[in-house]
Amino acid sequence: MKGLVLAGGTASRLYPLTIVTNKHLLPIYDRPMIYYPLDTLAGMGIREVMVIVGGKSVGDVVELLGDGRHFGLDLTYRYQRGALGIAHAIGLARDFIGDEAFCVLLGDNILRGDPLADTARRFEEGAWGAGTLLYEVPDPERFGVAELDAQGAVIGFEEKPEQPKSNLIPIGVYFLRQDAFDVIDRLAPSGRGEFEITDVLNHYIGDGGLFAEVYTGSWADAGTVPSLLRAAELAEREDIEGTLPAPVARPMDPA
């Protein structure tokens, strides 16, 4: 399985913090935000990862992460022009992914306490076309929201609805296969002018094509100032409890 971290976008909800820098370089407790999704992928046993960059300070992201060897990863990069949505960013990785199954992480998602290696293995070995993790939040209207039937199965996702049909959202972890790129090619932009990941997930609902389970660890996004604070508090708590790996110090490149 390969990995994909999405680290583009304008991050306007974090202004003025992101006026002159990339959101994913902001600190979450004692390390840059983008370290967390890379750590999550490494914990799954994934080694080949593409980072989709965009917006400001792209060179700083590359300088920070380098080739990824200090994470135990092999990193490559691709540039996304404009904020065209998660599905569009995923589509840029077609050549990198090839025929492999892959895991996509949003660069502002902080997951702690429940390693995903077994989850990734179940998806890779199963017959699902796509997968995601669900999480209960108090403000689902900020996200894509899952609609469930009476048996608790997902029957649809709606992007940032005014009247959410549940408190469960697909957090920024998506499992996909190569045919997802054909699905993305057929998407039309939403009313927000973006190519939505929820439209990709909806394609696989029915006939058991979608893998979805509730994440039992701790999760926070860092897309707003209040959630940035919550993410830092989560990271600090996990560090105190001894479950957060020590920060990775990048060795100096040889002269």
Mean pLDDT value across the chain:
90
pLDDT at 214 over 70: yes
Instruction: Give pLDDT tens digits for 125-180.
Output: 999 999 999 999 988 998 889 999 988 889 998 888 999 999 999 999 999 999 99
pLDDT at 29 over 90: yes
Count other C-beta atoms under 10 Å from residue 189's C-beta: 14
Gap between the Cα atoms of 19 and 213, Å rounded: 36
Alpha carbon of 175 to those of 56, 126, 179: distances in Å? 28, 11, 12
The torsion of the CA quartet 89, 35, 245, 13, rounded to 10 degrees, works out to -90
CA 151 to chain centre: 27
Gap between the Cα atoms of 211 and 101, Å rounded: 13
Any idea which architecture 2-240 has in CATH? Alpha-Beta Complex (3.90)
Per-residue pLDDT at 8: 87
pLDDT at 255 over 60: no
Question: How many residues can be counted in the chain?
Answer: 255
For residue 205, give the amino acid letter.
Answer: I
| Residue 56 banded pLDDT, cuts 50, 70, 90 | confident
Gap between the Cα atoms of 18 and 141, Å rounded: 23
**pTM for the model:** 0.91
Specify whether the CB–CB gap between 165 and 211 falls below 8 A: no
Show me where the domains of the chain are located. Answer: 2-240
